[in-house]
Amino acid sequence: MKIIKVLKGKDRYEVYSGAESFNLLPKLIAEKGLNKNILFVIDKNVIKFHSERIKSVMEKFPGKNNYYIMPSGEKYKSVERYNSILAFLADNNYGRDSLIVAIGGGVTGDIAGFVASTYLRGIQLVQIPTTLLAAVDSSIGGKTGINFLNRKNIVGTFYQPDFVLTDTVFLDSLPEKEIISGTGEIIKYAFLSDRDFYNDVNDSFDSIISLNTKALNRIIPSCIKMKAEIVTEDEQESGLRKILNLGHTFAHAYESYFDFKIKHGNAVAAGIISSLFLSFKKGIINKTSLNYFLNLPSKIDYECPNYLSKSEIINRMLSDKKNREGKIKFILIKNIGEILIEAEADREEIIYAIQNTFIPRSSFNKK
């Protein structure tokens, strides 16, 4: 099992990553002296596939011990669901001496984290990510939140968990489309890191998709380590952390434009492609680099519809919470590990990037 430290000082916490690490939950909670009154917030599909395992671990806790089943889907990251979890805690008389254990993907982790950060002004939290995307990204860094008025993550907090436990055994039941979506965020890390990791992700793409244990045990901790280093440097996203949003300005607009029918990681891959085209259009990379870099994100499929309203997509980007003074901020790629933040672009350049993203690129080496 690998142990990765996140943040410093009193806010420091560990991410434990490895197969079968879930069995260590009671021991870790006891060792860290965390609260014994626990609410497990568990994704519906996770309980469906892993009920025996989860129940056998839950039985080992002596205190108040309930579970709340979180329905599956982005639409449940809502105010209504937030109210419902709060009501469950209040109705069952959970006090300040409580702990929420979130077992699920990014949706469960984000909403359970938001509940933990606000119920009685904050109770303890443990994150147990069960999707690839949550394992490499959303469970680390302390961003919690819900969607509001059809806009993603616009209500939330920065609230660090007491620890994160990533058990790759949970991934065994993950549908392929979710694995591919998680790979979208892994590709983001490939661009943020160095050539060795980039080549590793490129060469291991098929092994990641087929959940090859050796590949996962190498790639997942590397991504966690990268995110841990970045958020340790910049917890509140005032500078460096912004690089984690690579591809996301476009991706959020694409998700919303396609009515969330495109998975987050697929939208991130499309967003990275847009960032590459924008970097090219602005003269930051040349044609050779563009073609080379397009190879990796192009391994992830997304639909290229016949008609696309570029204006509508730009309008959605204009409402992105990362904008300042009404200007859309982009993250551009100069090279692997050389990322430019807060870049601006004119309308014609943005349209070029969007247009080229949705042209099927069969000429690239899609696997």
| Residue 35 binds to ligand NAD (criterion: CB under 6 A) | no
Chain positions 172 to 191 lying near ligand NAD, rule: CB under 6 A, are: 173-174, 178, 181
Catalytic residue flag (residue 245): yes
Q: How far is the CB of 178 from ligand NAD (least distance, A)?
A: 5
According to DSSP, the β-strands at 330-335 and 163-166 are unpaired
Is the CB of 41 or the CB of 339 nearer to ligand NAD?
41
By CB under 6 A, the count of residues binding ligand NAD is: 31
> Given 237, 291, 310, 349, which residue is catalytic?
237
Work out the angle between the directed axes of helices 79-91 and 106-118 (0-180°, nearest 10): 60
| Residue 150 binds to ligand NAD (criterion: CB under 6 A) | no
Catalytic residue flag (residue 143): yes
Residues paired with 40 in a beta bridge: 67, 101
Residue number closest to ligand NAD, CB atom: 106
Catalytic residue flag (residue 361): no
| Residue 315 binds to ligand NAD (criterion: CB under 6 A) | no
Contact residue for ligand NAD among 17, 138, 266, 298 (CB under 6 A): 138
* Residue 17 near residue 166 (C-beta atoms within 8 A): yes
Q: Based on C-alpha coordinates, what's the Rg of the chain?
A: 20
Catalytic residue flag (residue 178): no
Q: How far is the CB of 149 from ligand NAD (least distance, A)?
A: 15
Contact residue for ligand NAD among 115, 137, 284, 290 (CB under 6 A): 137
| Residue 162 binds to ligand NAD (criterion: CB under 6 A) | no
| Residue 131 binds to ligand NAD (criterion: CB under 6 A) | yes
Amino acid identity at 228: A
Is residue 324 exposed (0-12), middle (13-18) or buried (19+ Cβ within 10 Å)? exposed
Contact residue for ligand NAD among 17, 37, 45, 256 (CB under 6 A): 45
Is the CB of 97 or the CB of 235 nearer to ligand NAD?
235
Instruction: Determine the Cα–Cα distance for residues 237 and 217; give it in Å rounded to an integer.
Output: 28
Amino acid identity at 176: E
CA atoms within 13 A on the CB side of 317: 25
| Residue 68 binds to ligand NAD (criterion: CB under 6 A) | no
Catalytic residue flag (residue 241): yes
DSSP-assigned states of every residue in 63-124: S-EEEEEEPSSGGGSSHHHHHHHHHHHHHTT--SSEEEEEEESHHHHHHHHHHHHHGGG--E
Contact residue for ligand NAD among 6, 39, 41, 43 (CB under 6 A): 43
Catalytic residue flag (residue 50): no
Instruction: Determine the Cα–Cα distance for residues 169 and 304; give it in Å rounded to an integer.
Output: 34
CA atoms within 13 A on the CB side of 48: 9
Contact residue for ligand NAD among 106, 161, 247, 297 (CB under 6 A): 106
* Residue 126 near residue 99 (C-beta atoms within 8 A): yes
Annotated catalytic sites, by residue? 121, 143, 185, 227, 237, 241, 245, 248, 252, 264
- The contact set with ligand NAD (CB under 6 A) reads 43-46, 49, 72, 74, 77, 104-108, 110, 130-131, 133-134, 137-138, 141, 143, 152-153, 170-171, 173-174, 178, 181, 264
